[in-house]
Structure 1
Amino acid sequence: MPTSISIRQISQLKIPEGETVVERAGVPLGSIRRSETTFIINSESYTIYNCSFSKDYADNISVFIPEIDDYIELNSYKKKIEFKLYYNSHKGIIFSDATTPITKSFLNCLNATPSVNIEYKTPHFNLESIANQLIETKGVGFDSDDEGVSSKSFYGSEVDTNQEASYALEQDHSTKLIGSIEVLGSLYTIMFTQSGSIVAYSKIPTTKEGKPLENPMLHFSLDVLSTIHFLD
Structure 2
Amino acid sequence: MGRVALQINSIIRFGFNRNSITSFLWDPWLFGKSVMTVFPSSNLDSLIPLHAMVSDYLRDDGWLLPAVVSDTIAISLQHFKFNQETNGTLFWQDSNKACFSSFIKYYHREEAKVDWYNLVWHKHFAVKYSFYTWLAINNGLKTAEELLKRTIRVPQSCSLCFVHSETTGHLLYECDYAFSVLQNLIPMVIKTAVEAKLANWKHTENLRISWAG
Larger Rg: 2
Determine which structure has the larger helix proportion and give its number: 2
What TM-score, normalized to structure 2?
0.22
Determine which structure has the larger strand proportion and give its number: 1
Q: Which has the higher contact order (CA 8 A, sep 6+)?
A: 1
